[in-house]
Amino acid sequence: MYVIKSQLILSGLLLTSSLPAYAVVDPLTPQSAEYQVNYGSIELGRARYQLPAPEGNIYHYRFDSDLSLLMLTDKRTIKSTFSFDGKKLTPMRYIQQRTGTGSDFSDQTAYVLDQKLVHSSYKDKRDKFPYTDDLYDPLSAQLQFRLDITAGAKTMHYDLLKSGKVDDYDFKVLGQERITLESGSYDTVKIEVVRESTKRQTFFWMAPQLAYLPVQLTHYEKGSKQLDIKLLNYQFEQNAIGQTRIKGSISEHLDAENGDTGNSDTGKENKTQQPTLESKVTSPEGTTDAKAETKPETEPEPGFKP
């Protein structure tokens, strides 16, 4: 079912407004981000990513989603544990738990680096794969992607182990683009998933000022928009000792752009503080609603879309 397949795009996955000049973050800064997922003009539900502060050089990245369409439901919790040597992520363990309409299942991988092997358990199938430096799980690949593009990469290649098999994915930078969502306008870098055919196209937009956090992902089939995923809110938290937390919303940033700075003393104080950035988007009616254009006829290719 499409509601189930769209989960794979998210989990395999995806702003800038007038943020303060001191708001400097990197892709491994502790963070969280929530997205709205639309199937055609129908909202399927929400997805959330969380990256807490590391334990030494060990990180734990988590994805949760809850999607539904009519009587169909799909809930997933996905966790990735990896290490970081200052340049490259090394996956250690990956686990996905899926419940909902149809059969429940789990997908687990364990990376045994000293043996150069990866153990996989998907549903009732167990297997072993050789470990290579460009092999990732779907979650750690997202963060490695952000690290690589931060370092200036224009084309990227990754092998992903998921669902008991290895698939390769290629991406290329198309250029810069300013896009407007209900939450505001953002300067972004546009990325395309490289495929041999143009019948299936996937694009996503990432915000350099927020460490290339994905702002939007859109998938097309035969030129018709099928899936739209848009950022609803985010939070970055600097974890250095002694830093002061600063919170703000997009509406406050827009007020600042328009010259409404509020209390001038507060504004001066904020210039000396280190940031925790938080943005929450609410429509005038009090809800968040991002609409796609057309109902999909076929399913997008499952896999990693950062």
pLDDT, tens only, 208-256: 988 999 999 998 888 887 788 999 989 998 744 434 232 333 433 444 4
Q: Given this model, what pLDDT does residue 24 score?
A: 57
- The phi and psi torsions of 289 (rounded to 5 degrees) equal -145, 105
The helix (run of H) or strand (run of E) holding residue 200 is strand 200-207
Could you give the residue ranges of the DSSP H alpha helices within the chain? Answer: 2-11, 138-150, 250-257, 264-270
Mean pLDDT of the 53-62 span: 97
Over the chain, what is the mean pLDDT? Answer: 78
Confidence of residue 269 (pLDDT cuts 50, 70, 90): very low
Confidence of residue 131 (pLDDT cuts 50, 70, 90): very high
Torsion angle defined by CA atoms of residues 218, 232, 28 and 137, in that order, rounded to the nearest 10 degrees = -50
Other Cβ atoms less than 10 A from the Cβ of 168: the count is 11
Residue 79 and residue 91 in contact, taking contact as beta carbons nearer than 8 Å? no
Question: Tokens for 181?
Answer: 């969502």
Percent of the chain, pLDDT > 70? 70
Q: Given this model, what pLDDT does residue 150 score?
A: 95
pLDDT at residue 281 tops 60 = no
- Give the pTM: 0.74
DSSP 8-state secondary structure symbol assigned to residue 266: H
Question: Tokens for 120?
Answer: 């996989």
Residue 129's nearest CA partner among 109, 114, 107 is 109
Coil vs helix vs strand at 148: helix
Rg (CA), the chain: 19
